[in-house]
Structure 1
Amino acid sequence: MNIRIKNIFAPASDKPYKLSRSKIDSFLKCQCCFYLDRRLGVDQVQGPAFTLNSATDTLLKKEFDVFREKGKPHPLMKMYKVDAIPFVHEKMDEWRENFKGVQYLHEPTNLLITGAIDDIWVDPKGKLLVVDYKSTSTTKEIDINDGTPWKEAYKRQMEIYQWLLEKNGFKVSDTGYWVYVNADTDQDAFDEKLVFDMQIISHKGDRSWVEKAIVDAHKCLMGDSVPESSEECEWCGYRDAAYSLIDS
């Protein structure tokens, strides 16, 4: 693997440094891997892209956009008694775009925080509701509060989006929603299609942690040494185990 030379944090630079929502989450998971990536240019090995998830995201955006143009709630919103309609804004396409997204310059750190949202709804009081699309295939009931790491990451993702929109001057509700599509495997045949069950799951976000996380991430980047490996990080565990065998 080559060392990356682009998108490296330079402590002496006065140019705003772009830090995505996912990189903030990376910092929270493991400061060592975050530092290696953003400060030293050592990427984590990436797995295959979730192309099926991307396909469902694209189709959901198209479907909800139909109701955005009509100024009416999607039938699923009515079914789950969500008193809102899809939000209309000239920057919606930009906010959804990877590498752009909703942006806010955090002046104390000079970090340009970004996050690409899936959707936004608006309630009758004019408060924005962050919406994220999720895809899965399970026969179990979806429990967003079961403590699994990726579901906790889903919550942080939503809360950073709430923070970003609030910093851009919008009134933002603490309540956000996941539109979950669950592939149904209880079918007689594939028949060239997947059948999905759709549901809405709500979450009352707490974005009070975001500011501190940004400040702490910046402090990490300004450091001159690599932070210690995290005991809970699989990447660090693999790296440490491999080095111990190589050096033995």
Structure 2
Amino acid sequence: MIIVNGQQHSQIDVTDRGLSYGDGLFETLKVQNGRPKLWQMHIERLCNGCNRLQIPLPDLAALRRDVDTVINNSGANLVLKLLVTRGRGQRGYAYSGTETPTVIVMSAPEYRVDARDYQQGVRAIICQTRLSHNAKLAGIKHLNRLEQVLARAEWRDPLIREGIMLDDAGFVIEGTMSNILIEKQGVLYTPQLSRAGVCGVMRRKVIETLHAEHLPVCVKDITAAELLAADSVAICNALLGVMPLSQIDNTVFPVSPLLTGLVAKRLQDADA
């Protein structure tokens, strides 16, 4: 089911700036038992992105009504995507500031993962496509995802489940669809994202949950060498939760209780 600006249909104006320039934002949510998980975190990131791009905030009450309508008509367990664009505009990059945002809510089938993947881990590669630095866009989930599209095209092997992306300086930033967590000597590390990357809601949930329990979490620049020298590595996003990596390129990693069992249990207890 798709709702556009409060109406059930699947069409947008061809002059929409989201189509022309990627001028907008999106959120991908997991819906479980009829409930959109981590809703407040998703909305906070969406609002932050709108403020950063100077897109008027959507009516959040109306947005939630549309979300509930889609869930009620599509099923209790599914993937939900929210998109907010600047709306229709004239030709050219400049915007007037009077545009009316386009708000889209759409559903997709439940994202299913084999439970054995959480026990055994999955494989990843380090991508050749680099993420460029742009502090004004870093952190938000804007619609310009061409770097991820190019990176995802680097492999066809179905056994490879993720590609890890570095920035122009060679630091580890994120996966094509996930954030990175590494463990070294009992401490959890995750890349800092002030120059590139998306601040994922599951990454935030992991950090906040462990901080609340006074467990060490360090956000820092991480080199590819440090990544490959980690005791264990995991990826995380709103659909996967926390999933261990068993191999990156030719480097094999054990599955860590810290990054799987302990983190997963804490997130479950925290109603992640």
**TM superposition score normalised by structure 2:** 0.22
Structure with the larger helix share:
1
Structure with the larger strand share:
2
**TM superposition score normalised by structure 1:** 0.24
Q: Which has the higher contact order (CA 8 A, sep 6+)?
A: 1
